[in-house]
Structure 1
Amino acid sequence: MLTKVKVNWKEDAVSHYMTELIDYAGLFPPAALPLKDAILNYHSYFQEEDSWMLGAFVIPASRLEELEPFRDLFNEQMPLRLSIILSKSDEFSTDLDAIQLFTETYQTAGMIEAIEVSPSFQLSSRIFEKLDQLISGYRIYSEIAGTNEQLQSSLNKIKRLNQDSSRPIGIKFRMGGISANLFPSAKKAAYVIHECKRLGFSLKFTAGLHHPIRQYRKEVETIMHGFVNVFTASIMAYCLSITEETIEAILLEDDPKNFIFTTNELSWRNLTVSSKEINKARNVFALSYGSCSFDEPREELGELVLFQKEAVR
């Protein structure tokens, strides 16, 4: 666990790096837990010392009504924080009804932090107007997928939408799944990170990031991206304006010894960002990632030798 690090690192690089990094997506494969098990897990994580790493609970809008029995687990001091995935565009009115029911049921014991939409969802100003009537202070992410040309087309479309909206749309990008074909190449991921930085989009990731460092995994018969690789590459892209090729090199790094945290800095090889820079990048650019496990990422990170001895007192 990283608790041993957190206790000694109050306002430092690893704290800023990991704060609310992991959105819990226990409902989704490969975990695919029943809702009761997933929501009880999420509630239990709030009681742990590592709760500072926990972000929102990810749930499809179509399943919001199933949360009603668990209302008493949460309160204003410890609300159920949600990232909601909308259904198809033609089911939007049904999703709105579900969101309204959730807000009426949970009131101050629940909050909707983000809305996520699939690549096929047709975003418009009308969508925002309807959502704004029910919730406030939320982020919205549009997932993008396909070839580089299709990705660029999606990014350009979202840029045009952002020019006419007071609520900017961020990008959601899938880093893996339950089979090898769902994992994008490091080159494609680097392209997305670089373009999102260039175009001024916030970015969140989902799927395939259970492990800190890039590695081959038998369960999917392919190399899985590491979340330390992905967020170090994204943070350095934002703070240092590194090239697409350097972003790709960070994503391809498989030696954990080349990632080093000190009290106030994070370094990869000859590149370094400060704790303050990490904090800024995490707040406005590289926001979070969805994972069906909250245990694996933090446990495996805590086992790695990424932390300078002088920082752990």
Structure 2
Amino acid sequence: MTAVPALFRGLFDDAAVFPPGDMPLPEAVPAHRAHRAAWYAEAVGPFLCGAGRLAELTALDLSGVPVVLVLPSGVAQLGPALAARPSEVDLVSVEVAATTPVREVVAALDGQLPEGVTAAVEIPRDGGGLARSLDALAGTPYRAKFRTGGLSSEAFPTEAELAAFVTGCAERGLPYKCTAGLHNAVRHTDPATGFEHHGFLNVLLAAGEPERAGELLAERSGKALASAATDLTAVQIARIRGSFTAFGTCSIVEPLADLAELGLLETPLENR
């Protein structure tokens, strides 16, 4: 029997080198390898690295480390990053901020992305272009990406904003990932900052019932969310994970601890 339930397998992309974690690369890569050898390895996604730090990877042992390149400045970074990629980097995907119209990003990905490498396009939160951006991605091989937090309160979308993204993707059959601010399973107010954090368990359930996305994203009862997650069928779980594929987190351990506390993940006896 696997230690990680299907609902959470491959859900946590390792963004340890990004804020607020900011782990140095020489520490983050060995830590990622340890995650991939741990009892919870099935929950761990690839290692995320900014395209500007490619050269730093060459001095590190990358065996068994699938890498995602993050291009915060847009698709103009893609060609140079691919050209500079060290041969030892196992590039599995790129994540591109849509600093230009999404249709232009899609065209560049179509023309430059190596075979076997996937991509996610970060949709801008411009208030009025969501439908247009999602339309441009619909029918392509690429996922949407949505920012769900950051270092300021403005970086966190409202429940309505995130619900519009979730339902918009569902209407178009468009898979997506999220990034930032989702370290915890349940929606909450951070007592230190006052920021309103979305919960990754809320997002998972909203992906399964997009018509109730607003309601599910607003739920603050861990007991209620855990009960709903426990009742999911295998078919429902497959549909959820076909939509909400992953999220970037600077901590792998923190979301796992939340799931254990909610009774959704059982830590093996030898690891307690």
Q: Which amino acid aligns with 1:97?
A: A
- Kept in 2, the 8 Å contact 1:57–1:82? The answer is yes
Q: Distance in 2 between matches of 1:277 and 1:36?
A: 40
Q: Distance in 2 between matches of 1:124 and 1:249?
A: 33
- Tell me the residue number matched to 1:258: 224
SS at match of 2:162: helix
- Kept in 1, the 8 Å contact 2:106–2:137? The answer is no
Q: Distance in 1 between matches of 2:22 and 2:160?
A: 29
- Kept in 2, the 8 Å contact 1:178–1:220? The answer is no
Are residue 285 (structure 1) and residue 243 (structure 2) matched? yes
**Can you give the 5+ residue segments of structure 2 that lack an aligned partner in the other structure?**
267-272
- Kept in 2, the 8 Å contact 1:257–1:305? The answer is no
- Kept in 2, the 8 Å contact 1:212–1:301? The answer is yes
SS at match of 2:116: coil
Are residue 231 (structure 1) and residue 204 (structure 2) matched? yes
Q: Which amino acid aligns with 2:109?
A: I
SS at match of 1:259: helix
Q: Distance in 2 between matches of 1:126 and 1:149?
A: 24
- Kept in 2, the 8 Å contact 1:20–1:54? The answer is yes
Are residue 156 (structure 1) and residue 135 (structure 2) matched? yes
Q: Distance in 1 between matches of 2:243 and 2:74?
A: 27
TM-score, normalising length from structure 2? 0.88
Q: Distance in 2 between matches of 1:188 and 1:293?
A: 25
**Structure 1 residues 37, 197: CA separation in 2 closer, same or farther (over 3 Å shift)?**
same
* Superposed CA offset, 1:145-168 (max 9, x none): 224422122122333xx4xxxx52
* Superposed CA offset, 1:115-150 (max 9, x none): 110020441434323222xxx323211111224422
Q: Distance in 1 between matches of 2:109 and 2:258?
A: 40
Higher relative contact order (CA 8 A, sep 6+): 1
Are residue 145 (structure 1) and residue 108 (structure 2) matched? no
Q: Which amino acid aligns with 1:21?
A: L
* Superposed CA offset, 1:227-269 (max 9, x none): 11111111333xxxxx2xx1111001001111245xxx835xx
Are residue 247 (structure 1) and residue 213 (structure 2) matched? yes
Structure with larger Rg: 1
**Structure 1 residues 306, 42: CA separation in 2 closer, same or farther (over 3 Å shift)?**
closer
1:50-129 equivalences under 5 Å are 50-71=40-61, 74=63, 79-86=64-71, 87-99=73-85, 101=86, 104=87, 106=88, 110-121=89-100, 122-129=104-111
Aligned residues: 262
Q: Distance in 2 between matches of 1:147 and 1:89?
A: 18
- Tell me the residue number matched to 2:253: 295
SS at match of 1:112: strand
Q: Distance in 1 between matches of 2:109 and 2:201?
A: 34
* Superposed CA offset, 1:155-213 (max 9, x none): 22333xx4xxxx52210001111111111011110110001010121110000001111
**Can you give the 5+ residue segments of structure 1 that lack an aligned partner in the other structure?**
1-8, 238-242, 309-313
Q: Distance in 2 between matches of 1:94 and 1:307?
A: 42
TM-score, normalising length from structure 1? 0.77
